[in-house]
Chains A and B, each alone.
Chain A
Amino acid sequence: DIQMTQSPSTLSASVGDRVTITCRASQSISKWLAWYQQKPGKAPKLLIYEASSLQSGVPSRFSGSGSGTEFTLTISSLQPDDFATYYCQQYTIYWTFGRGTKVEVK
């Protein structure tokens, strides 16, 4: 099984901050990685697919990069609506999620 490790597990930030979340795969997954945002009591929302492709309708302050085993999700200027939990997901062999990164108010 491919394991996905996200860091940090919690991130404290302020509106306007640049935020970076890292996701590492236990083996190479090429570019087959997605990022989701989830708010309490809501379903996850797709942000990024194929490591760096922005899903339609997602603000351009979200960006993804990486390939192989190391990936990042960056929010260029954190907005009030962005406080949430973020998950990475690999889809090379079956489907595995990271354990999530909660972005909270500093």
Chain B
Amino acid sequence: EVQLVESGGGLVQPGGSLRLSCAVSGFTLSSYWMHWVRQAPGKGLVWVSRSNSDGRTTYYADSVKGRFTISRDNAKNTLYLQMNSLRVEDTAVYYCARDPAVGATNGYFDYWGQGALVTVSS
């Protein structure tokens, strides 16, 4: 059974840092491109970042570029999102999501984690 489990969320002050983890099981992380998508309270879904299967190619939304870093440890089957210089507007539930193509990209997301809440507030 495919599972994605996020952890690492919490309350952080503006300007602070946090690292989210997404532990996957039921499939081999090294074969799949992975994404982070966030959802502010009561709002819609917003794509944040993408990592190709070996982690060497990454993309970011303009709103997080230069502050967030996506990475992965394929040996540990874990995806990460390092978030620095956090702002109040980064408050959201952060989901990791899998692109279903093996070794490539389809572009949509077939499996999602349950989400990790990040609250940025003083």
Contact = CB atoms under 8 A, between A and B. Distances in A.
Contact of A95 (B107, B110, B112, B115): B107
A44 B110 CA distance: 9
What bracket does the count of chain A residues touching chain B fall in?
20 to 34
A38 B115 CA distance: 13
A62 interface: no
Which range contains the number of B residues in contact with the other chain? 10 to 19
Interface stretch (B10-18, B42-50, B75-83): B42-50
Interface string A70-106: 0000000000000000010101101111111000000
A32 B107 contact: yes
Interface string B40-80: 00001111001000000001010000000000000000000
Contacts of B45: 36, 38, 44, 87, 89, 97, 100
Interface of A: 32, 34, 36, 38, 42-46, 49, 55, 87, 89, 91-92, 94-100
23 contacts: A32-B107, A36-B109, A38-B45, A42-B114, A43-B95, A43-B113, A43-B114, A44-B45, A44-B112, A46-B108, A87-B45, A89-B45, A89-B108, A89-B109, A91-B107, A92-B107, A94-B47, A94-B59, A94-B61, A95-B50, A95-B107, A96-B47, A97-B46
